[in-house]
Amino acid sequence: MWPAAESLFNRLAELGHANALREGERQLSYAQLLSEVEQRSAQLQQLGARRIALALDNGIDWVLWDLAALHAGLVCVPLPGFFSGSQQLHVLDSAGIDCLISAQPHAGFVQATPGIYLRAVVQPPAMHAGTCKITYTSGTTGQPKGVCLDIATQLAVAHSLVQASASCRVERHLCVLPLATLLENIAGVYAPLLAGAQIELMPMAQIGLLGASQFDLPRFLGALAQAQPHSLILLPQLLLALVSAAERGLPLPDSLRFIAVGGGRVASQLLARADALGLPVFEGYGLSECASVVCLNTPENRRIGTVGQPLAHLQLRLAADGEVLVKGPRLLGYLGEAGADEEWLGTGDLGHFDGKFLVLHGRKKHQFITAFGRNVNPEWVEAELVQQLPIAQAWLHGEALPGNVAVLVPRFAHISDLQLAEAVAAANQTLPDYARVHHWLRAEQPFSSANALATSNGRLRRTALLNHYQGAIEQLMANQTCYGDA
**What pLDDT digit, counting tens, does each position of 332-341 carry?**
999 999 887 7
CB count, 10 Å around CB of 82?
Answer: 21
Do the domain assignments include residue 483?
no
Distance CA 359, CA 361 (A): 7
Domain boundary among 362, 382, 414: 362
Domain count, the chain: 3
Do the domain assignments include residue 341?
yes
Average pLDDT estimate for 32-53: 97
What CATH number is associated with residue 371? 3.30.300.30
Do the domain assignments include residue 485?
no
Q: Are residues 326 and 372 in the same domain?
A: no
What CATH number is associated with residue 351? 3.40.50.12780
State residue 482's pLDDT score: 39
> How many Å from the N-terminal Cα to the C-terminal Cα in the chain?
60
Do the domain assignments include residue 484?
no
Residue 212 pLDDT grade (very low, low, confident, very high; cuts 50, 70, 90): low
Q: Are residues 116 and 250 in the same domain?
A: no
Do the domain assignments include residue 325?
yes
Q: Are residues 60 and 166 in the same domain?
A: no
Q: Are residues 206 and 352 in the same domain?
A: yes
Helix or strand holding residue 200 (H, E) = strand 198-200
Listed residue (325, 335, 264, 260) closest to 290, CA to CA:
325
Average pLDDT estimate for 161-190: 96
Q: Are residues 378 and 304 in the same domain?
A: no
CB count, 10 Å around CB of 341?
Answer: 7
Q: Are residues 112 and 219 in the same domain?
A: no
Q: Are residues 171 and 47 in the same domain?
A: no
Dmax over Cα atoms in the chain, in whole Å?
Answer: 74
Beta partners for residue 146, in sequence order: 136
State residue 395's pLDDT score: 97
Helix or strand holding residue 6 (H, E) = helix 6-15
- In tens, the pLDDT along 372-388 reads 677 788 988 998 999 89
Contacts of residue 213, defined as CB under 8 A and 6 or more positions apart, other chains included, come to 446, 448, 454, 458
Q: How far from the centroid of its chain's Cα atoms is residue 300's Cα? A: 24
Angle, CA 56 vertex, CA 52 and CA 59 arms, to 5°: 120
Q: Are residues 341 and 400 in the same domain?
A: no
Q: Are residues 38 and 119 in the same domain?
A: yes
Contacts of residue 320, defined as CB under 8 A and 6 or more positions apart, other chains included, come to none
Q: Are residues 202 and 291 in the same domain?
A: yes
- In tens, the pLDDT along 107-127 reads 899 999 999 999 999 889 999
- Write out the residue range of the structural domain in which residue 53 sits: 3-149
Do the domain assignments include residue 173?
yes
- In tens, the pLDDT along 414-457 reads 999 999 999 999 999 988 888 899 999 999 999 998 899 998 76
Q: Are residues 297 and 404 in the same domain?
A: no
Do the domain assignments include residue 453?
yes
State residue 374's pLDDT score: 77
165, burial (CB in 10 Å: exposed 0-12, middle 13-18, buried 19+): buried
- In tens, the pLDDT along 219-264 reads 999 999 999 999 999 988 789 889 999 999 999 999 999 999 987 7
Do the domain assignments include residue 171?
yes
Domain boundary among 149, 171, 194: 149
Q: Please check whether residue 168 is in contact with residue 299, taking contact to mean a CB–CB distance below 8 angstroms.
A: yes
For residue 202, the one-letter residue type is M
Domain boundary among 131, 149, 167: 149
Q: Please, where are the H alpha helices in 198-299?
A: 204-207, 217-227, 236-247, 268-276
Q: Are residues 93 and 205 in the same domain?
A: no
